[in-house]
Amino acid sequence: MPRPSFYLLSRDEIELVYSKALEVLSTVGIKIEDELVKNFLESNGGVKKDDRTLIPEELAKEALKKAPKTFDLYDRDGKYIATLGEGANIFAPGSAAIYIIDHRSKDVRPPLLEDLKNAVIITDYLKNVDAQSTMLVPDDLPTQVRDFSRLYVVIKYSKKPVVTGAFTVENIKFMFDMMKVIRDDFNKRPWAIFDVTISSPLSWSKITARNLYDLAKEGIPAEIISMPQLSATAPATVSGGLLLHTAEVISGIVIAELVSPGSPIIYGGSTAVLQPRYGIPIITAPESVLLSLAYAEIAKYLRLPSHTYLGLSDNKIIDYQAGAETVYSAVLAVLEKFDIISGPGMLENELTQSLEKLILDDEVVGIAKRIAKGFSLSADELLQDIDEIKDGINKRHFLSSPRTRKLVREFHAYSIFDITARSAWDKKEVHDKAHDKVLEILKTYTPTMLDKDLIKRVEEVYASAWKYYNLGNPKLV
């Protein structure tokens, strides 16, 4: 069956980068800002050198052997969604935006908890964006509770799996407690994936190091995200960025697998080029995209599930540039067969989310996945085609055949892109149609809410976390 695929690196090139990355880890090592994790690594094979920790090659290789090659992802209610590690192409909205384009006024402003609820409901509705993310940082909540409050909203309003993460050491435990309410087997049949980011070059902050440690202890999937910015936090060459990225992700895998052998991890990243003039990270810059595609092939070589930030735009508004950046990066990501692709809805260097763009990106994701699926081709089918052609030349068309009638239903069904003839066109631009769709969904769609008793129990955990910070009654939505 013809299926488009994409290869960038030869096996020799992959092995060269991999071996050099191990060399970086064993000679340069990593800096861990958290004493507990640093001591843990150094008493389990890591070698202390000044304020850094070296990772001997054998230690890294052993850890890589222990990481699961595949694991299954479920939804909140325990239904199987996909096997990660086989190129699942699961799309999730770009996460942790600190701005939203207000879908009524079109202004850009900090998001509120209510916006997150709306974004979760829209994403729940979407057909092609398979997962949720804790995509907005609600500005109307006290700083201390912003991370776990987001998970509460997702759990309540959608059954889709979720890509999430904590901003603090303490709060990840409240997030685990909320998940435990839903299902005892929340770690055996996971529906939440936690992002942990390493700070390039080769540095684990206290928060992310400890988050990774705690996730491994609980056996919850950790998406290890290295974020090299070419020319700024990484060498200016794509190959140098690849080398650094490889070393960084492997360092996270070593920590996770030493804490708990067999702990599920995802080989992730969010690459960028630091725009040389304006100093902002351009995620969809061609060199950045090449870097992402290349590290996916290292992940495949190591036989590990992979993740990226693509299928998004760096522009500030939804326009030609936003569409172009989103489409080429989404299509390349599916062809590279990433397991998790974070991006839909996102604009402006991963700062801004838009509900309209979520709707438009769902179409892009659908088309990208359809292209990735390829098409079927067999001798039997070609025989049927010969019969069709014989009929067709008599009728001078292929429309009125039972086979056509069946197959046209399998063509990509457009949900929002304009595919009408000019005569039938309602003169609306696709962005305005997306806006109408947002309003319609928020008015009429019933999301896959959590069972009432469980909501009550999740809200009890949620309230206990607010109480922990002496913040009074929690803000519910």
Partner 1 sequence: MGTDEKDKLFKDLYDAIVIADTDKALSAARKLVYDFHVDVQELMNRALLPAMKHVGELYERGEYFIADMAMSADTFNAIMKEIIEPILGSNKETSGSSKRIVAVFGTVQGDIHELGKNLAKAYFMANGIDVVDLGVDVPAEKFVEAVKQYNAVIVGASALMTTTREEQKAVIEALRKAGLRDKVIFIAGGAPVTDEWVKEIEADVNGSDMFKAFEKVKELLRARGYATS
* Interacting residues with partner 1 (CB under 8 A): 33, 96-98, 109-110, 137, 139, 143, 146-147, 167-168, 197, 199, 203, 205-207, 231-233, 236, 274, 276-277, 279-281, 349-351
Question: Please, which residue, 231 or 321, has the CB nearer to partner 1?
Answer: 231
From the CB of 279, what's the least distance to partner 1, in Å? 5
From the CB of 295, what's the least distance to partner 1, in Å? 20
Any idea which residue has 């239903």 for tokens?
Answer: 409
Question: Please, which residue, 51 or 114, has the CB nearer to partner 1?
Answer: 51
- Dump strand ranges (E) for 287-424: 307-309, 340-342, 346-347, 352-353
Omega before 221 within 30 of 0, i.e. cis: no
Question: Please, which residue, 150 or 156, has the CB nearer to partner 1?
Answer: 150
Question: Please, which residue, 326 or 352, has the CB nearer to partner 1?
Answer: 352
From the CB of 95, what's the least distance to partner 1, in Å? 10
Which helix (H) or strand (E) is 273 found in, with range? Answer: strand 272-274
Question: What is the number of other CB atoms lying within 10 angstroms of the CB of residue 320?
Answer: 8
Residues 18, 301: Cα–Cα separation, whole Å: 9
Among candidate residues 339, 81, 336, 93, the one with its CA nearest the CA of residue 223: 339
Among candidate residues 191, 194, 172, 171, the one with its CA nearest the CA of residue 183: 191
Q: What are phi and psi of 426, to 5 degrees?
A: -85, 10
Residues 124, 103: Cα–Cα separation, whole Å: 18
From the CB of 122, what's the least distance to partner 1, in Å? 21
From the CB of 11, what's the least distance to partner 1, in Å? 34
From the CB of 427, what's the least distance to partner 1, in Å? 35
From the CB of 205, what's the least distance to partner 1, in Å? 5
CA geometry: angle 286, 136, 334, nearest 5 deg: 35
Q: Are 388 and 398 spatial neighbours (Cβ–Cβ below 8 Å)?
A: yes
Question: Please, which residue, 223 or 362, has the CB nearer to partner 1?
Answer: 223
Q: Are 244 and 234 spatial neighbours (Cβ–Cβ below 8 Å)?
A: yes
Question: Please, which residue, 26 or 231, has the CB nearer to partner 1?
Answer: 231
From the CB of 274, what's the least distance to partner 1, in Å? 7
- Dump strand ranges (E) for 312-454: 340-342, 346-347, 352-353
3-state secondary structure of 179: helix
Residues 349, 421: Cα–Cα separation, whole Å: 35
Question: Please, which residue, 197 or 251, has the CB nearer to partner 1?
Answer: 197
Residues 259, 128: Cα–Cα separation, whole Å: 35
Among candidate residues 91, 46, 125, 31, the one with its CA nearest the CA of residue 355: 125
- Report the length, in residues, of the chain: 477
From the CB of 303, what's the least distance to partner 1, in Å? 31
Which helix (H) or strand (E) is 456 found in, with range? Answer: helix 452-468
Question: Please, which residue, 39 or 199, has the CB nearer to partner 1?
Answer: 199
Q: Can you list the alpha helix ranges (DSSP code H) found in 9-112?
A: 11-27, 35-42, 57-66
Residues 80, 190: Cα–Cα separation, whole Å: 10
From the CB of 290, what's the least distance to partner 1, in Å? 20
Interstrand relation of 352-353 and 99-101 (parallel, antiparallel or unpaired): parallel
From the CB of 275, what's the least distance to partner 1, in Å? 8
Question: Please, which residue, 236 or 454, has the CB nearer to partner 1?
Answer: 236
Question: Please, which residue, 224 or 372, has the CB nearer to partner 1?
Answer: 224
Question: Please, which residue, 220 or 273, has the CB nearer to partner 1?
Answer: 273
Torsion of CA 446, 447, 448, 453, to 10 degrees: -80
Q: What single letter denotes the amino acid at residue 124? A: D
